[in-house]
C-alpha cells in the first residue's frame, strides 16, 4: 500500500497564483496513542497513493471511486460496490 501525500500549502513555498482551486479537509479524531498506526497495520484502513490532481478534482463525489478503481487486485473491485449494498 502507498502513502498519503501531503501538499505544502505554505504561501512562501508555493506559487499561490497557480492554484485555481483546492480541497482541504480538517477534522478531529479521538484515537489513543498508536491506535491509528495499529489499525492501519492490521488492514483496517485503505491507504493509497494520491495523484497530483486528486486534491483538485472537479468531481469530489466521485473521487473515492476513482482512487479505488486505480488500485490493484481486490481494492479495485470496491469501486464497483453500490452505495446501497442492498442494490447489489
Q: What is the 3-state secondary structure (H, E, C) of 37-84?
A: HHHHHCCCCCCCCCCCCHHHCCCHHHHHHHHHHCCCCHHHHHCCCCCC
Residue 4 lies in a domain: no
| Predicted confidence pLDDT, tens digits, the chain (88 residues) | 444 445 555 655 556 666 666 677 677 777 888 898 899 899 888 888 888 888 788 888 888 899 999 999 988 998 888 878 787 6
Residue 33 lies in a domain: yes
Domain that holds residue 31: 16-87
Convert 11-26 into a string of H (helix), E (strand) and C (coil).
CCCCCHHHCCCCCCCC
Total count of domains within the chain: 1
> What pLDDT does 7 receive?
55
Tallying the residues shown for the chain, one arrives at 88
Contact (CB, 8 A) for 22 and 55: yes
Residue 1 lies in a domain: no
Cβ count near 75 (within 10 Å): 15
> What pLDDT does 2 receive?
44
Amino acid at each position: 500500500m502507498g502513502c498519503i501525500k501531503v501538499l505544502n500549502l505554505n504561501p512562501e513555498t508555493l506559487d499561490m497564483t497557480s492554484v485555481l482551486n483546492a480541497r482541504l479537509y480538517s477534522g478531529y479524531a479521538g484515537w489513543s496513542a498508536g491506535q491509528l498506526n495499529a489499525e492501519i497495520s492490521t488492514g483496517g484502513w485503505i491507504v493509497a497513493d494520491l495523484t497530483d490532481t486528486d486534491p483538485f478534482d472537479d468531481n469530489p463525489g466521485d473521487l473515492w471511486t476513482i482512487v479505488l478503481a486505480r488500485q490493484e487486485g481486490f481494492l479495485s473491485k470496491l469501486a464497483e460496490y453500490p452505495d446501497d449494498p442492498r442494490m447489489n
